Amino acid sequence: MVIKELIVSKGVNHEIIRKINFNTKGLSLIVDESGTEIKKSGSNIGKTTAVKIIDICLGAKTKSVLYYEKDTGENFLIKNFIHDKKVVAELIIEENKKMYSLKRELYTNGKNYIDDEPLKYEDYIKKLNTIIFNNNSSKPSLAQLIRKFIRLDTGNEEALFKFLGSYTTNPEYQAIYTYLFGIADNKFVNVNLDQINEKIDKDIEAICRKNAVSSIEEFKAKVELLKEELVRFEEDYKDVSVIDDYKEKQEEMQNLLLKITEKENLYAIKELKKKLIEEKIIKEEKNKFTVDIRFLESIYEETKLIMKEPLKDFSDLQGFHNGMIEKRKHLLKQSLIELTTEISEIEEELTKLRQHYETKYISFNSLLREKFEEKYKKYSDNKLKLNNYLNDYQYIQDKIIEKQSNDQKKIKEDNDNTKKEIVENSLNEFFKVLTQEITGETYKLLLNLNKDEFPVQAVGLNGKPGTGIKKALIACFDMSHINLILKNQYHMPHFIIHDKLENIDLNELKGIIKEARSFEGQYIFPILSDRISILGIKENEVVLTLSADSKFFRV
């Protein structure tokens, strides 16, 4: 796959801002002609903007890299221009003699298109992975593969082979490199399963630590011992009666409750009697003013028989009647006073009995509860511990089964050393020549298929390369890889995009320029104009020239 053209436009009429045609072989340079003062001011000329836009069209998710940098923060002029003018980037690529249009709207919530078909970002990435790498699987991902061909992260410049940074594991790098080198394309299946199994092992290890055991066998033995101890405890407990120790207190409580019941019954009877007397008093009071003539006549006749002096008139009779009522009321009130006193005494006794019962009840239950707790505490604790052990032990057993299932899903890897040696020899056929021509020293690549070790290593006569030479070796390694792709006709990119090459040693940069001219792939990178004459750059090798008066977005 080669990059043919980059078109950046704005507005609904798609007014072209930049149209860049790339050389399909050799150098395609983006030259910054801004003066020294402009560089010092930090003005954004945009020499890296073109390669960042290519990266975005090839799947990079973050568009803010076009107007944001850690050192300088946001460039609001560029940000507002992109959003207000609705800037769109279109990258034309060629794969197997077929042209593809990759289009991304660079503003917030902008859409993605492949051959004018609108796609969600996830579908855009999936289709790109198929077009560029003929890879229909999610692993290795497009981001993991394309980063080998587009090196823009300055933090990884000196990582040489670790183009995804140090957080990517050796097994992952193994899977990526064996894919990129055409050795194997199925290692990621096993890498994913290995990562899942590693997590399972960590979970099992954590549970063993939690339960103070060093192995699954020790865990099993501990569970069995605890089960046996609980069985013994249950047998011993059959002969223990908690209630028997408290029979005397229980009888005392029952007698006390019986007394309370008797007093409550007596209290109820007295209260009823009191109520009846009160009703009689009220009734007598009402009779005081009621006169029955016939009744009075009979009384009058009776009084004549018993009184020495008979009643002379009706008022005497009425006075006699009311006097009789008052006598009865007096007797009733006397009875009421006596009854009220008795009720008060019963109520006082009842209160004392209830308080005594409550005190005894609380004390009894407290002692009973303590006895139960004393008897059951060890049993309950051990039973709870056993349940926790059993849950954790079952979890471990389930995870072991899951791990075994994962192992069965693994694909048999092709670790054919012969194939590895063929690829290694092909790479070194290019790498040794390039390192000699560019750095003045011959280096050799060593490939390692051991999944726990890093897959690629460069060694020279003086050992591993130093920090100062690593940037030049990146160029040698990436060109060697493209040559391998072309030689074996792998379905992969035929281009390299590097940034910050102007920081490399001048002699090494001269060597890179010289070798890139005969390079069958594309080598795209930005460069400062003050090196153009020194390096002898040809006019046709420059695909874009920028300056203070002609910045990338022309703003």
- Mean of the pLDDT values across residues 236-247? 54
Burial class (CB in 10 A: 0-12, 13-18, 19+), 167: exposed
**Mean pLDDT value across the chain:** 82
Half-sphere exposure of 423 (CA within 13 A, CB side): 25
Instruction: Give the sheet arrangement for strand 495-498, strand by strand.
Output: 150-151, 495-498, 522-528, 26-32, 542-546
Give the tens place of pLDDT for each residue, 162-181. 999 888 888 889 889 989 99
Q: Which amino acid is at 478?
A: D
- Most confident option among 213-227, 296-310, 505-519: 505-519
Above 70 in pLDDT, residue 244? Answer: no
Give the tens place of pLDDT for each residue, 468-478. 688 889 999 99
- Most confident option among 1-10, 66-75, 315-324, 452-461: 1-10
Above 60 in pLDDT, residue 7? Answer: yes
**String of DSSP letters for 94-149:** EETTEEEEEEEE-STT--EEETTEEE-HHHHHHHHHHHHH---SSSS-HHHHHTTT
**Closest listed residue to residue 33, CA positions, set 548, 506, 526, 510:** 548
Long-range contacts made by residues 94-100, C-beta under 8 angstroms, separation at least 24?
94/1, 94/2, 94/4, 94/24, 95/1, 95/131, 95/132, 95/491, 96/491, 99/4, 100/131
How far apart are the C-alpha atoms of 125 and 122, rounded to whole Å?
5
Dig out the tokens for 317 from the structure.
């009779």
- Mean of the pLDDT values across residues 495-517? 89
Half-sphere exposure of 166 (CA within 13 A, CB side): 5
Domain 2-166+491-546: top CATH class? alpha beta
How far apart are the C-alpha atoms of 505 and 473, rounded to whole Å?
12
Largest CA distance in the chain: 168
Q: What is the pTM of this model?
A: 0.63
Give the tens place of pLDDT for each residue, 411-435. 565 556 788 899 999 999 999 999 9
How far apart are the C-alpha atoms of 513 and 517, rounded to whole Å?
6
**Domain range summary for the chain, segments of one domain joined by +:** 2-166+491-546, 244-384
Instruction: Give the sheet arrangement for strand 2-10, strand by strand.
Output: 15-21, 2-10, 88-95, 98-105, 112-114, 117-119
For 542, list phi and psi in degrees, rounded to 5: -100, 120
Give the tens place of pLDDT for each residue, 271-285. 888 888 888 888 877
Give the tens place of pLDDT for each residue, 330-358. 887 888 888 888 888 888 888 888 787 77
Q: Is 332 helix (H, G, I), strand (E, B) or coil?
A: helix
Q: Which amino acid is at 404?
A: Q
pLDDT band at 364 (very low <50, low <70, confident <90, very high): low
How far apart are the C-alpha atoms of 520 and 480, rounded to whole Å?
11
**Closest listed residue to residue 138, CA positions, set 175, 86, 108, 101:** 175
For 464, list phi and psi in degrees, rounded to 5: -70, 150
Give the tens place of pLDDT for each residue, 84-131. 999 999 999 999 899 999 999 999 999 999 999 999 999 999 999 999
Q: Note the pLDDT of residue 270.
A: 82
Give the tens place of pLDDT for each residue, 183-231. 876 555 565 667 777 888 888 888 888 888 888 888 888 888 878 877 7
Is the Cβ–Cβ distance between 451 and 194 less than 8 Å?
Answer: yes
**String of DSSP letters for 378-442:** HHHHHHHHHHHHHHHHHHHHHHHHHHHHHHHHPPPP---HHHHHHHHHHHHHHHHHHHHHHHSS-
Dig out the tokens for 423 from the structure.
């690829």
